[in-house]
Structure 1
Amino acid sequence: MKENKKFFYCPIYTAILDIRSYEEHIEKPINISNMKICWIPFYRLENEFKNLDQKITWLLYCEKGIMSKLQKIYLIKQGFKNVQLLI
């Protein structure tokens, strides 16, 4: 079976924001070379997101994608426009 590799373009000011719990973050770390990766658990994101570099587009990541979708909606309602999903 031929391996299907997917490539995606990320602007230079893009980083991954892992919003999983500490346990998930430690058990299954994200390893993507040449990408800045930060960790803030979803339950602290409301208070901590404003402290991140707002020039960066943050790609939210969680295991199943549900929490990242919910957090993206919340952050956009709070006026942040630099939030996308890592799918």
Structure 2
Amino acid sequence: MKLVLAPEGAQAPTPFASLAAIDPDWNPGTLGCTVDGQRHYAYLAQLLAEDARLTAVVPGVTRHGEDLGQRLSTQTPELGPAGRGAAAPAR
């Protein structure tokens, strides 16, 4: 990657702009998946690859210090407080 310096008085490009220039599909702000969300997804994928069951990933289950169970329960209504695998209450 070529290092680009901004002319004096101009603002240097942000790292996010540089990443978007390399890969237009990488844009957590507009695609709705934050960097934290991507990290949690990767950690959950690691657990599942090690034969963990999704129903066992409850709040308090951590990976690299991240509470995957809490994140999963807030992101997936059908796996949230209504119970693992049970349908979420109608809203």
Greater RCO (Cα-Cα under 8 Å, separation 6 or more): 1
Normalised by the length of structure 1, the TM-score is: 0.29
More strand by share: 1
For the pair shown, the structure with the greater C-alpha radius of gyration is 2
Normalised by the length of structure 2, the TM-score is: 0.28
